[in-house]
Structure 1
Amino acid sequence: MKAIVITNYGKSEQLKEQEVPLPTIKNNQVLVELHATAVNPIDWKLREGYLKEKFDFDFPIILGWDAAGIVKQVGEEVTQFQVGDRVFARPATTANGTYAEYTAVDEKRLAKLPSSITFDEAAGVPLAGLTAWQCLVDFAKIKQGDNVLIHAGSGGVGSFAIQIAKYFGAYVATTASEKNEALVKELGADHLINYQAENFEEILSDYDIVVDTMGGDIQLKSFQILKEGGKLVSIAEPPDEDIARENGIVAGFLWLEENGKQLAEIAELLEEGKIKPTIGHTFPLTEEGLQKAHQLSETHHAKGKIIIKIK
C-alpha cells in the first residue's frame, strides 16, 4: 500500500512516499481503509525527534494518528464492528500511523461515524476532540455556569474546546487574532481577547478553568486569572506545581488517552449539530502535500484542522 514515511528524524523533507506492506491485524483489531487523516503537532514533533525518548520507534515510521474510513477486515475477538462500517478513531501511537491507505485500529479505540458526517470532517475530530473533551470533562469537571478561558480558540483543540464548554453551559473567553474573531464567535465564544493587542491577564479574573494550549509565559500568566480552587489544564507543558499550590489551584498536564467510548459520545454531538469540526486546510496524501501540511502546522497559525485527503 502507499504510505508517506520518515526514515530519519529531521525537517519536513524527510516525509517520503513508499510502498509498505498492508497491516496485519490482531484479534482485537480492525483494518480500516482510510479515506482521510489529519496533521497534528505531535506529528512534526515526533518527526523532528523531540519525542524519541517517549516513543522509541524503529524506522521507517508512518506518522499520523487520526483515522476516518471504512472497516475492511475484523479480528476474531471484535464484536462491535463489521466490514463496511464507517468509522473514525484516534489509534494508538505506534510506528504504523495513518499517513497511509490502510491502518490497524484496536476495537476499543474505534467509534462508528454518523452518516451525516463526511470522512474529511471526521478525520479532524479524534485527536483534537478527545483532547478537548478530556481537558474539560475528565480533568476540569466542567459544569454549567463555569467561566472558562481557552487559549488559541481558532486552533484544532481550541475550536473543539469552545464548543464543548458551551455545550456544558459555560461562559467562554478565548484568545485569538482579530482575523479569527468571526470564527471563534461562530463556535460560541462569548469573549474574544485579541492577543495581538490585549493582555488577557489584565482583562480576566476569577475564572474557574483555563485550557492552556501554548505553555511558557502564557501558562504562567494564566495562573493570575484563576480563582482559588480553579483548574489549569495544559497540553503544552507540565504546569509549575509550586505556583499552583501557592495559589490554591489544581493544575496538571494532559496527554490524550485514546478512548472509543468518549469518541462515540462526541459522535452523537456531531450528529446533533452541537459541535462541528473546523477544517481550515486540506492537502493530498503525497510527499509535497504532507510536507506543506507539516510546515503549516509548525507555524502554530493554522486555522482549525489540517486534513489529509486519501480517497
Structure 2
Amino acid sequence: MVVDRPAQPQHRDLLVRVHAISINPVDTKIRASMGSQPASETLRILGWDAVGDVVEVGSEASLFHAGERVWYAGDITRQGSYAEYQLVDERIVGHAPASLDDAHAAAMPLTSLTAWEALFDKLGIEHDSHPATINPTSTQAIDTSQRQTLLVVGAAGGVGSMVIQLAHRLTTLRIIALASRDESQQWALDMGADEVVDYHEGNLARQIQALAPAGIDWIFSAYSKGNIELYNTVMKPFGEIVAIDDENDLDWYSLKDKALSWHWEFMFARAKHHAPDMIRQHEILDAVAELVDLGIIRSTLARQLGPVNAESIDKAHRMVKSGHMVGKVAISGTSPE
C-alpha cells in the first residue's frame, strides 16, 4: 500500500528515513487485533524497532541533526516503522551504534529499553554506570554462592536475551535462566547466564532450589501464566518480580505471604503518557549504543530477512508467532538468505 510521506516534523519530532526494522511480539498481537476493528479504523502502520537516518528535524529538536544515524522503538500511539519514512519524538531516539550494521542494530532498541527499565528502573538493581570502565572480556567470579540471584523466565527471547546480557555485564548478580530446547539453553549461556534450568524436565521448584537454596532475590518474567506458585516457592521473602506479558488473571494476592512485590514493565508507557522523564529512553539508547561499541554487549539478531516489504514482514510475523524463535528477526534492504 502506498501512503503519503509524513508531513514536515513539528516541535521535537524527527523525520527518519527507515533502513531496517525488527519484529516483536507486540507487532503480531496488534496485527491480530486489527482484524476485529471496523474497516475505517484499520489503516495503521505497525512496527516498533527501526534504524535509519534523520532527514529533517522539528523547530524544537536539539538532540539530533539531519544526516545522523539513529535507532529507536517508537511510540505505540503513532504510526510505526513499516514504512520508508517515519515521524518520531527525539526524546525516545538514540544514536545508533557505529559498530553494527542496520539489521543487527534494528534488533535491539525495544528489547534493550524493556530490559534496562525492568532491571534498573523498576527493580532498582544497582549497576555499573560507567560503561567505559567495564572490561568486555571479564567474567564473573567463579564462586557464585554469595551473589544475589536473578531468575530469568523466557531467557531465549528478545527481551530475556538483553536482560541476561545487561545483568551479566553491569551487575554482580548470579543469573539462572529457564529454557527448554538445546538451542535455547545454549543461547542463554552465550548471553551470560550462569546456569540454565530445563523447564520441561519437571519439578522446576526443586531444580531452582538446588541451585539457589537460600532463595531467589529477583525474577524477570516474560511468561507469568501458571508460574505464580513457582515464584512463591523459590523466592526469598521481600523478593521482587518484574513482568512484561499480558496476563490479567494472576493470583497476585498469594504473593502477600512472603511480602513479594510485583512490577509491570511496559516500554511504551513513557511515550504513550508523555511522562516528564520521556528523555530517559534517549539516554538509555545512547548508553546501550556505547556498550555495544565497546564490545560489552552484542546484538541479539538471530535471523535476517530482506528486503523490507510485505512478504518479508509476513514471514517474520510467522516466525515470531511460532514461539520457537531465539533472539530477534530483523529485515533490512538486503538479506543474506
Question: Which TM-score applies when normalising by structure 1?
Answer: 0.88
SS at match of 1:46: helix
CA distance in 2, matches of 1:243, 1:52: 35
Is the contact between residue 119 and residue 163 of structure 2 (CA under 8 Å) also seen in structure 1? yes
Which residue of 1 is the match for residue 109 of structure 2? 126
CA distance in 2, matches of 1:218, 1:111: 35
Which residue of 1 is the match for residue 255 of structure 2? 244
Deviation at 1:138, TM superposition (A): 1.0
Deviation at 1:43, TM superposition (A): 0.6
Deviation at 1:51, TM superposition (A): 11
CA distance in 2, matches of 1:73, 1:152: 39
SS at match of 2:227: helix
Is the contact between residue 20 and residue 102 of structure 2 (CA under 8 Å) also seen in structure 1? yes
Which residue of 1 is the match for residue 176 of structure 2? 173
AA aligned to 1:232 is: I
SS at match of 1:62: coil
Q: Deviations over 1:38-65 (max 9, x none)?
A: 1111111111118989xxx933111111
Aligned counterpart in structure 1 of residue 241 of structure 2, from 201, 217, 232: 232
Deviation at 1:19, TM superposition (A): 0.7
Aligned counterpart in structure 2 of residue 268 of structure 1, from 279, 290, 303: 290
Which residue of 2 is the match for residue 154 of structure 1? 156
Is the contact between residue 142 and residue 165 of structure 1 (CA under 8 Å) also seen in structure 2? no
Which residue of 1 is the match for residue 138 of structure 2? none
Deviation at 1:198, TM superposition (A): 4.2
Task: Summarize the Cα distance change of 1:309–1:223 in structure 2 as closer, same or farther, 3 Å threshold.
Answer: farther
SS at match of 1:174: strand
Deviation at 1:224, TM superposition (A): 1.8
Is the contact between residue 97 and residue 105 of structure 2 (CA under 8 Å) also seen in structure 1? no
Check if 1:47 corresponds to 2:31: yes
Deviation at 1:140, TM superposition (A): 1.2
Larger proportion of strand: 1
Deviation at 1:240, TM superposition (A): 3.4
SS at match of 2:311: helix
CA distance in 2, matches of 1:273, 1:51: 43
Deviation at 1:218, TM superposition (A): 2.7
Structure 1, unmatched stretches of 5+, are 1-17
Which residue of 1 is the match for residue 11 of structure 2? 27
Structure 2, unmatched stretches of 5+, are 128-146, 210-214, 272-280
Check if 1:136 corresponds to 2:119: yes
Is the contact between residue 178 and residue 194 of structure 1 (CA under 8 Å) also seen in structure 2? no
AA aligned to 2:314 is: Q
Which residue of 2 is the match for residue 3 of structure 1? none
Is the contact between residue 34 and residue 310 of structure 1 (CA under 8 Å) also seen in structure 2? no
Aligned counterpart in structure 1 of residue 188 of structure 2, from 156, 169, 184: 184
Shift >4 Å, 4+ stretches = 50-53
Aligned sequence identity (%)? 29
Aligned counterpart in structure 1 of residue 206 of structure 2, from 202, 211, 222: 202
SS at match of 2:156: coil
Check if 1:214 corresponds to 2:230: no
Q: Deviations over 1:277-296 (max 9, x none)?
A: 21112222222211111111
Is the contact between residue 304 and residue 331 of structure 2 (CA under 8 Å) also seen in structure 1? yes
CA distance in 1, matches of 2:163, 2:232: 19
Which residue of 1 is the match for residue 143 of structure 2? none
SS at match of 1:83: coil
The CA RMSD over aligned residues, in Å, is 2.0
Deviation at 1:219, TM superposition (A): 4.2
Aligned residues: 291
CA distance in 1, matches of 2:300, 2:116: 16
AA aligned to 2:153 is: H
Question: Which TM-score applies when normalising by structure 2?
Answer: 0.81
